[in-house]
Amino acid sequence: MSKQAKRDIALVLALLALCAAAYFAVSSSRTEGNICEITVSGEVFGRFPLAREKAVDVNGLCTVVIKDGAVYVASSTCPNKTCVSHRAISRGGEAIICIPNAVVVRVLGGEADFVV
């Protein structure tokens, strides 16, 4: 193996290690969220605490379920159902987006600033 090939392999390994470190740094800095915000066409539909189990019908477009401190889309009227196959989310900054229905389900971190 030539010196150039060894350097290329070392560079690729160093870049992979850097990417892995960056991924773990970003993912570990996210905090567990405590609020689920649902928007439809950019307008806030509602904010719900993740601590309370609830099924939310979003204007007949989809059903969002809050359970065990996480939130997921249980059903949707969209044709491809990508939002339904998305895993449940629970960390601040995570989102599930249903583009055909213009629905965004987002987890917010921090203290709740409302009374439910």
- The count of domains in the chain is 2
Residues spanned by the domain of 93: 35-108
Q: What is the pLDDT of residues 37-59, one digit of tens each?
A: 999 999 999 999 999 999 999 99
With a CB cutoff of 8 Å and minimum separation 6, the contacts of 115 are none
* pLDDT at position 24: 65
Report whether 66 contacts 116 (CB < 8 A).
no
* CATH code (residue 78): 2.60.320.10
Does residue 54 form part of some domain?
yes
- What's the token pair of residue 87? 């895993």
Does residue 116 form part of some domain?
no
* pLDDT at position 33: 80
Do 22 and 41 sit in the same domain of this protein?
Answer: no
* pLDDT at position 3: 83
Does residue 95 form part of some domain?
yes
With a CB cutoff of 8 Å and minimum separation 6, the contacts of 67 are 53, 88
> Low-confidence residues of the chain, pLDDT below 70?
23-31, 110-116
Candidates 14, 19, 104, 99; CA nearest to 58 is 104
